[in-house]
Amino acid sequence: MNMITNHPPTAELQALDAAHHMHPFTDADALAKNGVRIITRAKGVTLTDSDGAQILDAMAGLWCVNIGYGWDSMADVAARQMKELPFYNTFFQTSTVPAIALAQKIAELAPGDLNHVFYASGGSDANDTNVRLVRHYWAAKGKPTKKVIISRQNAYHGSTMAGASLGGMTAMHAQGGLPIADIVHIGQPNWYDEGGELSPEEFGLLRARELEAKIEELGEDAIAAFIAEPIQGAGGVIIPPSTYWPEIQRICDAHEILLIADEVICGFGRTGQMFGSQTYDIRPDIMTIAKGLSSGYAPIGASIVCDEVANTVAHAGDFNHGYTYSGHPVSCAVALENLRILEDEKMVENVASVTGPYLKEKWEQLADHPLVGEAKIQGFMASVAMTPDKAARAPFAAPKGSVGLIARGHCFGNNLIMRHVGDRMIISPPLILNRSDVDTLMDRAVKALDLTLAEIKANGLYA
Ligand SMILES: *Cc1c(COP(=O)(O)O)cnc(C)c1O
């Protein structure tokens, strides 16, 4: 087998990791006790760990490796750019060829008049840019009172102070004194958990109209923007009812507020079109992008900004904001090559009309599994909600996430990476997943669900 064998033994690596490496979103004591899993290489859709296990990565890393692992040309482009110009800044009336070329390419791909790119290093800091940009925009329009940004409960917009504040994760707000000022949250279009007796369509309208109610409550002259993911990703792949986005768009059109689509996950093919906004007919004024922009091969994010906002800000003097790595030439070159591959290999079209429909057919059959209350999918992002009582869509008696954690363990045990969010299991596989990969994924997913069901029957959680 073609493996790197010159690394220390797994146990030694685990001990060193526990001693020196602080992990994001992790209970460090629990991790140290269980031992971290060490990924050593990857090719296509398959990871290899330090013990040689071959794991199907149905999460595309962290929603990002859209083109899959192991493209030599990505490495070649990075190496060439590093040799030619590893870094130069974009602050002081300077630019670089990759930063220019990528901005042009992004403007070409983005819908409508989203023609202007402000670079960041990832999605969180791109959303920080958005907070400052929209407030600066309204101030430049002579409306400095328009500062409030409306977001949604259980949204994910990153982990910086502004990103986590925009997000609607209560566990994140509880640490570090969040949200920051002038960010408010309305309900999410999560029919399964919160829709009660309403139909999904009724519930979608109800939740969309919370935006209108919030605008009326605070006054239009206080509000800068509404931000939302086309499909909530980290919130559990919450696919909104069909009525939700048309109503949100109507409300945004009827009021003087900006619409920010956080496309960090949905962008670059995940929903079956280049952007989630195209899948849902959303016309955003600003888009946040990251993840699939480089397929995770190099860190990069950006805000794509419409003509009106960019031009207004352009005429308003210095925008006192930027990152050292805004427009990093290596990341930009890598992102450009990523987009070339995405287009040349017709990956988005493939998700839309070949592998996407095949995965959908299989995934929706999971709804018949005794443990599954709902199985939803759009393009290449999908979720199942686990329940002890399908009809009532009831939660388990154990604390939320206990069964999800058990299921994730069985996925790991069967060489499948699926993530759990609470007691939902979610996937977001590389867009290159082929039919036979889909079959493997589904076999392992069903096996993991079966094992989970057996375990919770044995311990009394499935009455
Ligand atoms: C991952 C994510 C972010 C944050 O991006 P980072 O690159 O981790 O900073 C923001 N928004 C959404 C929708 C995301 O999924």
Q: What is the pLDDT of residues 13-50, one digit of tens each?
A: 999 999 999 999 999 999 999 999 999 999 999 999 99
pLDDT of residue 462: 87
Q: Could you tell me the pLDDT band of residue 463, with boundaries at 50, 70 and 90?
A: confident
Q: CB of 267 closer than 6 A to ligand 1?
A: no
Contacts of residue 217, defined as CB under 8 A and 6 or more positions apart, other chains included, come to none
Would you call 125 exposed, middle or buried from its count of C-beta atoms within 10 A (0-12, 13-18, 19+)? Answer: buried
- Choose one of 119, 263, 291, 428 to mutate for the ligand 1 pocket test, by most ligand atoms within 8 angstroms of C-beta: 291
Q: Which residues contact 281 (CB under 8 A, 6 or more apart)?
A: 245, 246, 249
Atom of ligand 1 nearest to the CA of 265: 15
Evaluate the CA torsion angle 340, 297, 331, 155 in order and state its sign: positive
The pLDDT mean for the chain works out to 97
Residue-wise pLDDT for 89-141, tens only, equals 999 999 999 999 999 999 999 999 999 999 999 999 999 999 999 999 999 99
Distance separating alpha carbons of residues 126 and 235, to the nearest angstrom: 19
Confidence of residue 6 (pLDDT cuts 50, 70, 90): confident
Q: Is the pLDDT of residue 2 over 90?
A: no
Check residue 255 and give its pLDDT.
Answer: 98
- The reply to whether ligand 1 has any atom less than 6 angstroms from the CB of 189 is no
Q: Candidates 124, 188, 262: which one to mutate for ligand 1, based on the most atoms within 8 Å of Cβ?
A: 124
Ligand 1 mean position, distance from CA 228 (Å): 12
The torsion angles phi and psi of 177, rounded to 5 degrees, stand at 70, 45
| pLDDT of amino acid 375 | 98
323 Cβ below 6 A of ligand 1: no
Mean pLDDT of 240-246: 98
C-alpha of residue 8 to centroid of ligand 1, in Å: 32
Per-residue pLDDT tens over the stretch 316-373: 999 999 999 999 999 999 999 999 999 999 999 999 999 999 999 999 999 999 999 9
207 Cα: distance to centroid of ligand 1 (angstroms): 23
Is 264 near ligand 1, meaning CB less than 6 Å away?
yes
Strand partners, 377: 382
Q: What is the pTM of this model?
A: 0.98
**Residue 153: pLDDT above 50?**
yes
Please say if the pLDDT value at position 1 is more than 70. no
Is any atom of ligand 1 closer than 6 Å to the C-beta of 153? no
Give the C-alpha separation, 185 to 214, whole Å. Answer: 9
Percent of the chain's residues with pLDDT above 90? 98
User: Which residue would you say has higher pLDDT here, 425 or 5?
Assistant: 425
Say what percent of the chain tops pLDDT 70: 99
Q: Do residues 290 and 118 lie in contact, with contact meaning Cβ atoms separated by under 8 Å?
A: no
What would the two tokens of residue 353 be? 């009309």
| Index of the ligand 1 atom closest to the CA of residue 155 | 13
**CA nearest ligand 1 atom 11, residue:** 157
Using one digit for the tens of pLDDT, what is the confidence trace for 395-425?
999 999 999 999 999 999 999 999 999 999 9
Q: Nearest Cα to 226, choosing from 213, 238, 235? A: 213
4 band by pLDDT with thresholds 50, 70 and 90 = low
